[in-house]
Amino acid sequence: MANGYQHLSDQERAVILSERSRGSSARAISHLLGRSPSTVTRELARGSDPAAETAYCPTQGAQEYRARRRRCGRPAKLVEGGWLYRYVLDRLCYWQWSPEQIAGRLARMNPEDPEARVSHETIYAAIYAHPKGSLKQELIRALRRQKPQRGQRRRTAARGGSIAPEHLPIAYRPEEIEQRLMPGHWEGDLIKGAYNRSSVGTLVERKTRYVVLSKMHDGTAEAALEGFHRQMRRLPAILRQSLTYDRGSEMACHERLARRLNLSIWFADPHAPWQRGSNENTNGLLRQYLPKGADLSEPSQTQLNDIARLLNQRPRKALDFRTPEEAMTEELQAFSKTVALDS
């Protein structure tokens, strides 16, 4: 007898027909085939046809077997036309959420109803198992990496060095910033356009992952000073505590920026992007809207605000699938209550 169970073959069904016509019992047939008696008994029940000349029909048995195999297993959750399918499609294609963000948000919305939730692996499987066509291409384009198949890695060249001021190293940054205990501490950077002739300033609040984008005239220090100052001065003073930046030459005017906004500025170590992990992750997400090689002088500040709003309305795993907008609102409400109690 085989070590692993195998379904009956057409040859075995032929043996069952031959032996049954000779009057052999199910146990005798199972011994001849090296099968369990229950396997033969179930096959005889599937293939029984009182209208036929014989009590067993192998063709009917095979058809019944295939029909039951199609019916077995859990029914698919993501069925076209269902509300869950429409929700996933809408968040994936129009809101640009990732499958993990969609699954996490559904779990947060429906903690007691497993039928109203779906795993991110199920979403990926539905995308890649979808028949070829324009919809499948649209779904794959909606994914962050836009890979035609799962598991493929993309390789990128290592980034070069940068010019940097030699003061205010990140090692001296207070522990409360490192631990993300209080809001108002930001990470900043520039993402560059084609031939480094255009750029957009990116700011990410460390605790809430709230994103602010700033239009820059170019990548110079003066442009960075004016761009970051213009956007950060719109924030409440409580949200302007510190800024952590890399050692790029565009921060040569950091002292003036610190005075204008009354915040402290810290600089990450050379070649250590993980020290500004939230900002680096956000820059990667932004390439979905501001691709490499594009002219970043074209988007207006209003368009950049719209892109930031899309990111701020995405649920984040690091926030227990709240959105940065929700997290920031909660922090401001908590601060308002504290001020009211103190007064």
Q: In the prediction, which pLDDT does 2 show?
A: 45
Selection from 189, 250, 191, 258 nearest residue 221 by Cα: 250
pLDDT tens, N- to C-terminus, the chain (343 residues): 445 567 888 888 888 888 888 888 889 888 888 898 888 888 888 888 666 555 788 888 888 888 777 777 666 777 777 888 888 888 888 888 888 888 999 999 998 888 888 888 888 877 766 555 444 565 666 665 555 554 555 444 434 444 444 557 888 888 889 889 899 999 999 999 888 888 999 999 999 999 999 999 888 899 999 999 999 999 999 999 999 998 888 888 999 999 999 999 999 888 888 899 999 999 999 998 999 889 999 999 999 999 999 999 999 999 999 999 999 999 999 888 876 655 5
Q: In the prediction, which pLDDT does 155 show?
A: 47
Q: In the prediction, which pLDDT does 342 show?
A: 57
What the chain holds in terms of domains, given with CATH numbers, is 10-71 (no CATH), 83-142 (no CATH), 170-342 (3.30.420.10)
Q: In the prediction, which pLDDT does 209 show?
A: 96
Q: In the prediction, which pLDDT does 134 show?
A: 46
Contacts of 220 (CB under 8 A, 6+ apart): 250
Q: In the prediction, which pLDDT does 67 show?
A: 79
Q: What is the crossing angle of helices 134-142 and 83-93, to 10°? A: 60
Q: In the prediction, which pLDDT does 213 show?
A: 97
Within the chain, what is the greatest distance between any pair of CA atoms?
101
